[in-house]
Structure 1
Amino acid sequence: MVLLAIPSNRAIEPLGGAGVPAVLLALILLPWWGWYTAQREVGLLPAPIQPVRVAMMILLVCIVASYAAGSQRPLSEPESNALNLGLLKALSFLSILAVANDGIPSKERLIHFLRWCCLLCGMYAALGVVQFVTGQSFVESISIPGLTVSDFGALQERGGFNRPSSTARNPLEYAYVLAMFFPIAVTLALNDKKQNVLMRWFPVAAIATAAALSVSRSAIVGVAVATLVLAPFWTPGVRRKAAVAALGLLGVVWILVPGMMSTLFNLFGDDDPGVDSRTDSYAVVWSFWQLDPVFGRGFGTFLPGYRILDNQYLLTLVETGALGLAALVGIAVTASFVAIKARTSYSHPLFRNLGPGLAASVVAGVVLTGFFDALSFPQAAGTLFLILGLCGAFWRLKDAIPGAGHG
């Protein structure tokens, strides 16, 4: 709720980048998680091996190493502030993942939590659809005591259409959140028979419609990638229905929004300034990476004033070196693997299909992380590490007794 309902560009001004409510909440949860873990009774301890949490600790160690390396060289004041902020952000990533990994006490609670996440994302997507249709943000008029607006602007435009962003900082962050929640929403809609039909399918319909109307290459690619990962785990009947639904949605968009389909096709044209900007960054990244190839120059210190890389992997390579990049990729690979692996331990169809749904979410996030500096945006980073932690929880709960853990 804090991550998606509060506009991403609101913050407590004196705290700078650390004043984003979602970041502050994560930093508050971190010591709580540490104390909770330390004082738990032996019988309630999680399984001895927690692969996702271990992978996160490795990433944190790499970020701390890059912090140490960055501290050894002369820093300008903006770089020094960014280096300290980067460490706080890394701790908030750890907190989100650790609480999701260890804090869900039962399989039933996991499903209950995912239902609310998907419902909230459906509302988040619906706001974007309203923004597209009306051309009004509605978010700019929201005033929250104690929070200031950092970089809010009017809705962006592309190809003559409004580019919605809901409560995200920009359309890319909006697309990232939609793509990551889409496969989970689809999985619950297909398998969570305890919910009524409207509650199951509203998030799917809202997210799919929002992606189609987002005028965003990232949204289309993210949803497509998630679907490709999920499709092999569907029955032939479900695959046929999904294909019909996708064609139906595109047909409705083609009829009701003239010019939208040609605009979407043009997004994938050969001459695209956005793609050219990303590929032109390789030479810059190579020159910076050669200076600090192992540990990098410090997480958060490659400031936008130097160059906007629009690729988190390139940015991670520069800031945390080869080790940090390997750790970032490693945590995503680990989470996807354990989600698929753990499904074999579940007998209920809902849980067996939830593993591929979580893995598809991670894969969609992994792909879109290469489209912009995702870890610099609170909603994108928060969603990524939340889903990574949920993959860890899915692994941890595979041997839990159904109905246990509500105390």
Structure 2
Amino acid sequence: MSTDFIPGKTRSLADGATLICIFVAVLMLVPARLVFKGIPLSLTPANVAALFALICWICAQLTLTLGMAKGRTPVRTGIFVYMIAVFFSYGYANYGPLPADEVKLSDHAIVLVAGNCAVALMMNDGVRGLIRLDRVLKTGVICGTGVALVGVCQFLLKLDLTKYMVLPGLRATSDDSAVQTRDALARVAGTTGHPIEFGVLCAMLLPLAAHFAFQAKQRGEPALRWWVCCGIIAAGMMFSVSRSAVLGIIGAAVVLFLGWPAKRRWYTLLVGAVFLGVIKVAVPSLLGALFDLFANLGNDSSISHRTYASAVAAKQISLHPLFGHGPGTWYAGKHEVFDNQYILSTVETGFVGVAAFASIFLCAFYSALRARYLSKDPGARDLALTICACLVAPLIGSATFDLLGFATVTGFTFVLVGAAGSLLRTAKSLAPHEDQFGVLYWVRYRWAWLRGFAARRRRRTETLPEPVA
């Protein structure tokens, strides 16, 4: 087993993992609708922490003594491609005439994109080793449990704790309640901006909590705390009453079941059945409401609205197919709401932008699976599979709501993308001969074989006796 997983061997100095832990805590525990007072752009504490991480990343890249990783990785390349695509769209939109409100929103969007990409880059380059990566992801699970606990209080106790979580120097961007209703059931949002975002966030966190629960015995840690986190997060996901959350957790479960051993699969199915039974007893109408979300798709007004919005999107995309209308310029209140991030990204940033957005997920999946292939540590291999499962939830959710319009789930998505890159760097460092499994080695091997074959043919030709005249 790798020494990176040995308990007690930790670093005492602050590093990139420290910055990301602060970002994750602020992102999840400060209500999403709170922003700083007195500045022209609506920036949350998490946005400021992300921009500070960007400054630190740039400064660390200029030195060789701060422990920042250098060199190209798939995640790093994907993030740079995404940033370039969005900046091209921003320049293209501002080159032509834009209304003043859309110019301001475009400026705000480009700042948010820079911050999110900085978080992924800091994770990819600044979180070195499995211990530090473990620390960041555990912070995410613990803080996510806090978010889910707020949601549970909102649902069961009708107590909205976010009303009391107001910090000095911050103001609320809206007076909307964190509790909504659907089919006479409360839909809660925790500290996030919307119940759908809350449900998808819980669907992303649940596989991570299960990973730490299953790995606790191997690492010599108490497992009960992580199982409690699993229960609270799962309850929060159910209380969001969200179709996107259900689809996200199903997609994550499919990925996990493909890589888990059979014993763990059966154990998970048993625990899941017991959990659903408890939910049925505690809230009898909840499972029926979730079932109706899928059984009545033909009569769902949100589905018919999405069909109508697709026609509007097709017309707008035809006007600016490559670079779009501009990042952040298509907003509710003035334009049609699509409830689909892929359509919205195509409208705002064109086909170039939506392809770059999808490439981030592809690079993250490749990095995690590559790390799983290279690593010999069972814990690291399970973590790679878990990261893939977690990223399936926002990948599916992007087709059912505007993912990038919600700060909490977007920020944690970029954290997980960077985590995949960090895990691949660690796996490569622990497998110095990893190129023997790669394309470069195959090319070198074939080239050497061809050169040797030619040399043998040449030697045989030189040693053959000359023909007799």
**TM-based fold match above 0.5:** yes
Matched residue, 1:214: 240
| Whole-angstrom distance in 2 between the partners of 1:244 and 1:267 | 24
Q: CA deviation at 1:401?
A: 5.3
Matched residue, 1:405: none
What fraction of aligned residue pairs are identical, expressed as a percent?
28
- 118 and 64 in structure 1: CA distance in 2 versus 1, 3 angstrom threshold: same
1:53 equivalent to 2:76? Answer: yes
Of 273, 295, 303, which residue of structure 2 is paired with 1:275? 303
Q: Report if aligned partners of 2:213, 2:224 keep a CA contact under 8 Å in 1.
A: no
Q: CA deviation at 1:312?
A: 0.9
Matched residue, 1:184: 208
- 344 and 122 in structure 1: CA distance in 2 versus 1, 3 angstrom threshold: same
| Whole-angstrom distance in 2 between the partners of 1:318 and 1:400 | 41
AA in 2 matched with 1:295: F
1:125-164 → structure 2 map (5 Å cutoff) = 125-154=148-177, 155-164=179-188
1:26 equivalent to 2:55? Answer: no
The SS at the match of 2:86 is helix
AA in 2 matched with 1:383: F
How many residues of Structure 1 are paired with residues of Structure 2 in the alignment? 401
Of 312, 315, 318, which residue of structure 2 is paired with 1:290? 318
What do the CA deviations read for 1:355-376 (whole angstroms, capped 9, x no partner)? 1100111111111122211112
Q: CA deviation at 1:105?
A: 2.1
Of 270, 280, 288, which residue of structure 2 is paired with 1:244? 270
| Whole-angstrom distance in 1 between the partners of 2:405 and 2:285 | 33
Q: CA deviation at 1:109?
A: 1.4
1:100 equivalent to 2:123? Answer: yes
Matched residue, 2:108: 85
Q: CA deviation at 1:64?
A: 0.6
| Whole-angstrom distance in 1 between the partners of 2:58 and 2:381 | 31
- 9 and 229 in structure 1: CA distance in 2 versus 1, 3 angstrom threshold: same
What do the CA deviations read for 1:367-390 (whole angstroms, capped 9, x no partner)? 112221111211021011111111
Higher relative contact order (CA 8 A, sep 6+): 1
What do the CA deviations read for 1:179-208 (whole angstroms, capped 9, x no partner)? 112222212211233320222212211111
RMSD: 1.6
What do the CA deviations read for 1:237-293 (whole angstroms, capped 9, x no partner)? 111111111111111111221211211111112211222222221111111111110
Matched residue, 2:290: 264
Q: CA deviation at 1:234?
A: 1.0
| Whole-angstrom distance in 2 between the partners of 1:106 and 1:152 | 43
Q: Which has the larger radius of gyration?
A: 2
Scaled by the length of structure 2, the TM-score of the pair is 0.83
Q: Report if aligned partners of 2:371, 2:424 keep a CA contact under 8 Å in 1.
A: yes
Q: Report if aligned partners of 2:371, 2:428 keep a CA contact under 8 Å in 1.
A: no
Moved over 4 A (4+): none
Structure 1 gaps of 5+ residues are 403-407
What do the CA deviations read for 1:290-310 (whole angstroms, capped 9, x no partner)? 111001111111121211111
Q: Report if aligned partners of 2:30, 2:165 keep a CA contact under 8 Å in 1.
A: no
Matched residue, 1:201: 227
Q: CA deviation at 1:93?
A: 1.4
Q: CA deviation at 1:400?
A: 3.2
Matched residue, 2:8: none
Q: Report if aligned partners of 2:70, 2:125 keep a CA contact under 8 Å in 1.
A: no
Scaled by the length of structure 1, the TM-score of the pair is 0.95
Matched residue, 1:391: 420
Q: Report if aligned partners of 1:337, 1:359 keep a CA contact under 8 Å in 2.
A: no
| Whole-angstrom distance in 1 between the partners of 2:348 and 2:62 | 32
Q: Report if aligned partners of 1:125, 1:206 keep a CA contact under 8 Å in 2.
A: yes
